[in-house]
A = this chain, B = another copy of it.
Amino acid sequence: MSEIKKAVLAYSGGLDTSVILKWLQDTYQCEVVTFTADLGQGEELEPARAKAKAAGVKEIFIDDVREEFVRDFVFPMFRANTVYEGEYLLGTSIARPLIAKRLIEIAALTKADAISHGATGKGNDQVRFELGAYALNPNIQIIAPWREWDLLSREKLMAYAEKHGIPVDMKHKQGGSPYSMDANLLHISYEGRHLEDPAAEAEESMWRWTVSPEKAPDTAEYLDLEYVNGDIVSINGNAMKAHEVLAFLNTIGGKHGIGRLDLVENRYVGMKSRGCYETPGGTIMLKAHRAIESITLDREVAHLKDDLMPRYASMIYNGYWWSPERIALQTLIDHTQSSVNGWVRVKLYKGNVIVVGRDSKTDSLFDSTIATFEDDKGAYDQKDAGGFIKLNALRMRIAANLKNRK
């Protein structure tokens, strides 16, 4: 590895990345550029600027990427009804490729030769950052301090911070949140500490974005979601941009106790890990997207998508957003969405997202003249079913005849 002169750091302004900033300056004797993204995590970003400045950073990037995040990452993913291991909506996974892309873009802008991030060596995020970065710039150098340094416990980290005059705010001094958290417009996640025993129930106090179903309103609320090409474009008749859609759904979903999830997942690096997630808007979107597809998508196209979905989900979970195979699958997925137009009505109530109606003026393949239990006036000839069954049964009848002869 050649000498590093300048590194772009994915910087939140929190304790960990503040320590990393200092550690990079000391260890590599390099200039550090900070990049702080507004992904809708709901935190003030200006303090990050002040802290970076105080640490001697000359090039500070603070970008509002919320619209890009939802429009170009979250929405494409939801077009596939993407769920990892039957449950997880990939809230953390889908933000990483955007950050990787911006790190590489900023490295090009600032002529930096390296990037750095605060993900640990045990998790998926290091993989997602680095696979993305390498795919976009194969010669970038990557510094992953958690895999290099010896500050492997919280105590050592705090000691390092204090020794180097890095401000440690109150919550860290008191032990802070017991959880390792990540947030963006799609979700907030919790890992670690109390959750490391998968047999134990998560504490109610942990959850931040949603009320418990018990505390949610006693009255249900209905939403009309309008779809164009598989994406929500308006809610209750109000046109919205992608990130506005998700922000709106998060607020209303959170209010109704929607989108909590507690699961044990399989990390790409080979271990099982327990995580809790709040994904209020995403939970509504998944349910509603399936509903609009149910009337606008051909059966075999829908089944093809279902068959490919777990693979697509793994690609995103494992960090292969910028891979040619993910892009190839996306081409197929996006192609299928041209007919996914119409509206879905959902009812939200105490943790439940209930689809109560769906229709499409332009693309509904639901044909009540055929499906009816009443007289269909010849639209469908029931006798056809006899031949259909006979030929589908033929191979099994031949086999059964053979068995009988034995």
Point out residues on A near B: beta carbons under 8 Å.
Answer: 81, 85-87, 120-122, 126-127, 130-131, 134-139, 144, 146-147, 152-154, 180, 191-193, 196-202, 213-214, 218, 220, 260, 262-266, 269-274, 290-291, 294-295, 298-304, 306-307, 310-311, 314, 320, 322-325, 327-329, 331-332, 335-336, 345, 347, 349-352, 354-359, 362-368, 370-376, 380-402, 404, 406
Contacts and interface: CB of A to CB of B under 8 A. Distances in A.
Given A349-B213, A364-B402, A328 B324 contact: no
Nearest to A265: B294
A370 B131 CA distance: 19
Q: Which are the 4 A-B pairs with shortest beta-carbon distances?
A: A121-B382, A387-B387, A270-B394, A384-B387
Given A202-B356, A335-B328, A365 B135 contact: no
Contacts of A291: 263-264
A385 B134 contact: no
Contacts of A336: 324, 328
Given A214-B220, A373-B180, A131 B356 contact: no
Contacts of A136: 400
B86 A290 contact: yes
Contacts of A199: 345, 357-359
A86 B306 contact: yes
B202 A385 contact: no
Nearest to A306: B310
